[in-house]
Each structure stands twice: as structure tokens, then as C-alpha cells.
């Protein structure tokens, strides 16, 4: 287990880590593809997990070809997704307990999400946690998305904390790669896509839930 007692800030991913939205997003994308006449392998959608919209579109074109109408399908998927999360956004178990503990410990928090700011702020606000973070960096605000380290370095800079003193909580492999490239410690809490063997080989902690993360922090920092 990594040493956690020298952590000065925690940087959170959003979808799949705090918000249980990845399944909703993939279901909407699959439904949108079918509405345009395509029945796709679910693995196609899972390949977009952790990527921002620009990199997701690039990956789809590389996988399915330049003629695939990714922009039209994304527009339809976005409408379905907005309708879905207006009905409520589920959060991951242990989220609020972890946020409360970090507040009590006086540790600042940031969000580093591949989601564009207009969506991210709306979702974080809807579940009542937007104001609980001192800084937020979104996918449409960086030149290079995950797995590049840029989004994490900018989150640390926004908090005024050295990268090496930050702990990143991530569900996706691209997020883990980006956090490690930024020189940060990372705990992975996988969601719908298990870590690839190459990512497991990094040796970072992989935990089943945010409850487990909280228990580890309490044990290390208590």
C-alpha cells in the first residue's frame, strides 16, 4: 500500500468515480447509434471511457472509419443523456462520507474531468457537490486530454499544491496514466471497465469503492 500520510490535496475524476453515470452515458450512445441505423459492439462505447469528447470522436473514427457519422450520433446521444440526468444522477457509495472526512482533515479538493464544463458544473451542482471543490478543470479546457498529464497538473496548480503531494482518485485507465505521468499518487476505483493488465502492472492501489478509499486514508492518516 502506498504511503498516504503526506498528501496535501485530493483530485477527483467525476463520471464513473463520483457519479454513477458511465452506464447511462454508454446506454444513450448505443441508443443513439441504433437510432441512426447502427448496431455496434458495446466494446466500442466502452473504449471511450475516460476520454474527452474530442479524443472520443477521434477514437471512434479510427475504429469505425472516417465515414462513420460520429458527430450526428454524438448530438443524438447528448440529447438523450441530458434527458436522462434531468431525471436524477446517482452517486457512488461512500462519496459524501469521503468528502466529509477530507473537509474535516482540511485537505483541499479539485475535480479533473474529461467532461466539458457546461455538463460538469450542471451535474456536480445537481447532486449538490459543486461548491465542495476548490478548483475544477474540465475536458474542454485542456490542449491534451487524459492520458496526458495536463489536466492533473492544472488542477494541482489551481489548488496551489505541488503535484507530488496530490492524490488522484480515478476509475479509468487513461486517468491513471495521466495522473502517474503528472508525478502524482493515484488510487483506481474501477467502474464498468476493469484495468488493463498493463495498467495493473504500475502497482498502484486498485480498490473496490470509495468506502475502501476512505478506510485506507483513515488508516494511513489517522
Q: Left, alpha or beta for 75 (phi > 0: left; psi -120 to 50: alpha)?
A: alpha
**SS3 string of the chain?**
CCCCCCCCEEEECCECCCECCHHHHHHHHHHHHHHCCCCCCHHHHHCCCCCCHHHHHHHHHHHHCCCCCHHHHHHHHHHHHHHHHHCCCCECCCHHHHHHHHHHHCCCEEEEECCCHHHHHHHHHHCCCHHHCCEEEEHHHCCCCCCCCHHHHHHHHHHCCCHHHEEEEECCHHHHHHHHHCCCEEEECCCCCCCCHHHHCCCCCECCCHHHHHHHHHHHHC
Q: Is 67 a catalytic residue?
A: no
Active site residue 13: yes
Q: Given the residues 15, 55, 173, 191, select the one marked as catalytic.
A: 15
Catalytic residue among 13, 55, 171, 173: 13
Length of the chain equals 222
**Hunting for cell 451535474 — which residue is that?**
123
Q: In degrees rounded to 5, what are phi and psi of residue 188?
A: -100, 130
By annotation, the residues acting in catalysis are 13, 15
Amino acid at each position: 500500500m502506498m504511503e498516504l500520510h503526506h498528501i496535501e490535496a485530493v483530485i477527483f475524476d467525476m463520471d464513473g468515480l463520483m457519479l454513477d453515470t458511465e452506464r447511462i452515458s454508454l446506454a444513450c450512445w448505443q441508443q443513439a447509434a441504433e437510432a441512426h441505423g447502427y448496431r455496434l459492439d458495446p466494446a466500442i462505447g466502452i473504449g471511450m471511457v475516460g476520454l474527452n469528447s474530442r479524443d472520443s470522436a477521434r477514437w471512434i473514427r479510427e475504429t469505425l472509419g472516417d465515414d462513420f457519422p460520429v458527430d450526428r450520433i454524438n448530438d443524438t446521444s447528448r440529447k438523450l443523456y441530458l434527458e436522462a440526468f434531468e431525471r436524477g444522477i446517482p452517486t457512488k457509495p461512500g462519496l459524501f462520507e469521503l468528502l466529509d472526512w477530507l473537509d474535516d482533515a482540511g485537505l483541499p479538493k479539485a475535480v479533473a474531468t474529461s467532461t466539458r464544463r457546461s455538463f460538469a458544473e450542471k451535474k456536480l451542482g445537481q447532486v449538490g457537490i459543486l461548491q465542495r471543490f476548490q478548483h475544477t478543470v474540465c475536458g474542454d479546457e485542456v490542449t491534451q486530454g487524459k492520458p496526458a498529464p495536463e489536466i492533473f497538473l492544472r488542477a494541482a496548480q489551481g489548488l496551489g499544491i505541488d503535484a507530488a503531494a496530490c492524490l488522484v482518485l480515478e476509475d479509468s485507465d487513461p486517468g491513471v496514466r495521466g495522473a502517474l505521468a503528472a508525478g502524482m499518487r493515484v488510487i483506481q476505483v474501477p467502474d464498468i471497465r476493469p484495468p488493463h493488465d498493463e495498467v495493473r502492472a504500475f502497482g498502484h492501489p486498485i480498490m473496490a469503492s470509495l468506502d475502501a478509499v476512505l478506510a485506507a486514508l483513515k488508516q494511513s492518516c489517522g
